Structure 1
Amino acid sequence: MKKIALFPGSFDPLTNGHLDTITRGAALFDEVVVGVFVNTSKKSFFTPKEKVQLIEASVSDLKNVRVILQEHDLTVDVANALGAKFLLRGIRSVKDYEYEKDIAQMNQHLSPDLETVFLLASPEYSHISSSILKEVIQFGGDVEKYLPPVINQAIVEKRDQNE
Structure 2
Amino acid sequence: MSRIGVYPGTFDPITLGHMDIIRRGAKLVDRLVVGVTTNPSKSPMFSVEERMATVRREVEGIDAVIDVVSFDALLMDFAVQQGASVIVRGLRAVADFEYEYQMAGMNQQLNREVETVFLMADVALQPIASRLVKEIALFRGNIANFVTPSVRDEVVARVASLGPRGG
Fold equivalence (TM over 0.5): yes
Report SS of the residue matched to 1:108. Answer: helix
Match of 2:131 in 1: 131
1:57–1:150 CA contact under 8 A, matched in 2:
no
Q: Which runs of 5+ in 1 are unaligned?
A: none
Report SS of the residue matched to 2:27. Answer: helix
Cα separation, 2, equivalents of 1:41 and 1:19:
23
Report SS of the residue matched to 1:146. Answer: coil
Match of 1:67 in 2: 68
Cα separation, 1, equivalents of 2:161 and 2:138:
13
Match of 2:97 in 1: 97
Cα separation, 2, equivalents of 1:127 and 1:145:
11
Q: CA RMSD in A?
A: 0.9
Match of 1:48 in 2: 48
Match of 1:85 in 2: 85
TM-score (norm. length: structure 2): 0.94
Cα separation, 1, equivalents of 2:155 and 2:134:
10
Counterpart residue type for residue 79 of structure 2: A
Number of residues of Structure 1 aligned to a counterpart in Structure 2: 162
Percent identical: 37
2:137–2:156 CA contact under 8 A, matched in 1:
no
Cα separation, 2, equivalents of 1:77 and 1:159:
35
Match of 1:140 in 2: 140
TM-score (norm. length: structure 1): 0.96
- Give how far 1:27 is off: 1.4
Q: Which runs of 5+ in 2 are unaligned?
A: none
Report SS of the residue matched to 2:89. Answer: strand
2:4–2:32 CA contact under 8 A, matched in 1:
yes
Counterpart residue type for residue 68 of structure 1: V
